Amino acid sequence: MEKQVTIQNKTGLHARPASEFVKTAAKFQAEIMLKKDDKEINAKSIIGVMALAAAKGTVLTLKAEGPDAAEAIEALSQLIDSKFGEE
């Protein structure tokens, strides 16, 4: 299962939002990947998420496989859509 999301908060996926993203991803059993251009990282890895350097307007692809993949995609895309509560 996959879904495209766009980073909307001003500061992008920096330390605090990245940490929140990883914490949310870790709640799920599904294997969750985050893809930017040709880079694909484990969404449960803070180093990986920070390394994507996703600025505002960046389009990412969320991919999940496993028993709760749909719920994981939904929760993570809602988190991104809410601009991580920053604005």
Q: What is the pLDDT of residue 18?
A: 96
Distance CA 27, CA 59 (A): 23
Condensed to tens digits (0 to 9), the pLDDT of residues 12-36 reads 999 999 999 999 999 999 999 999 9
Taking the domains of the chain in order of start, what are their residue ranges? 2-85
β-pairing, 39-42 vs 59-65, is unpaired
Q: Does domain 2-85 have CATH number 1.10.4000.10?
A: no
- Confidence bin at 87 (pLDDT 50/70/90): confident
Under a CB-based contact definition with an 8 Å cutoff, are residues 84 and 9 in contact? yes
Catalytic sites, residue numbers = 14
Mean pLDDT estimate for the chain: 96
**pTM for the whole thing?**
0.94
Q: What is the mean pLDDT of residues 63-73?
A: 98
| Token duo for residue 65 | 């496989």
